[in-house]
């Protein structure tokens, strides 16, 4: 069974896609921790960050770098938490690598 994120890649499940290229995709989190909470994934399904082949890890990093300022600007945030939950015991619920971009705002309490 393909992961829920693979089903989004295939267009089988709707998502608010904010970016897509040949190897990566980004869409809004369905249960956002903050306005603009965005998930960035490799289109190909790997469970953990350390499973990614180097070229895909590089593509994913490039997309994250590109999108962090775009996401922050879109919601007028001044910073963001960028995080990967890597493995179930670390809180990873979807077994398909994804980076969280969680916008942060001045005076919002600090810390994830
Ligand atoms: P994790 O805990 O695995 O690091 O994060 C999984 C994230 O995926 C959660 O923040 C959750 O809200 C989000 N999520 C789970 N299912 C869906 C879905 O079907 N669509 C979208 N857009 N986000 C999802």
Domains of the chain: 4-104 (3.30.428.10)
Other CB atoms closer than 10 Å to residue 100's CB: what's the count?
20
Q: How far is the CA of 45 from the centre of ligand 1 (A)?
A: 15
Mutation test residue for ligand 1: of 27, 31, 83, 101, the one with most atoms within 8 Å of CB = 31
Give, in degrees to the nearest 5, the angle at Cα 25 between 20 and 29. 120
Helices (H), 11-94: 54-74
Report the C-alpha dihedral over residues 95, 97, 45, 4, rounded to 10 degrees.
50
Three-state DSSP state, 61: helix
For residue range 10-59, what is the model confidence (pLDDT) as tens digits? 999 999 999 999 999 999 999 999 999 999 999 999 999 999 999 999 99
pLDDT, mean over the chain? 96
Model pTM greater than 0.95?
A: yes
Is residue 98 among the annotated active site residues?
yes
């Amino acid at each position: 069974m393909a992961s829920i994120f693979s089903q989004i890649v295939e267009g089988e499940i709707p998502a608010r896609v904010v970016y897509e290229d040949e190897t990566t995709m980004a869409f809004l989190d369905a249960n956002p921790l903050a306005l603009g909470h965005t998930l960035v994934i490799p289109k190909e399904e790997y469970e953990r960050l350390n499973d990614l082949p180097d070229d895909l890890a590089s593509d994913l990093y490039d997309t994250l770098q590109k999108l962090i300022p775009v996401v922050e600007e879109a919601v007028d945030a001044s910073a963001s938490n960028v995080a990967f939950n890597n493995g179930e015991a670390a809180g990873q619920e979807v077994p398909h690598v994804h980076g969280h971009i969680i916008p942060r705002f001045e005076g919002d309490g600090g810390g994830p």
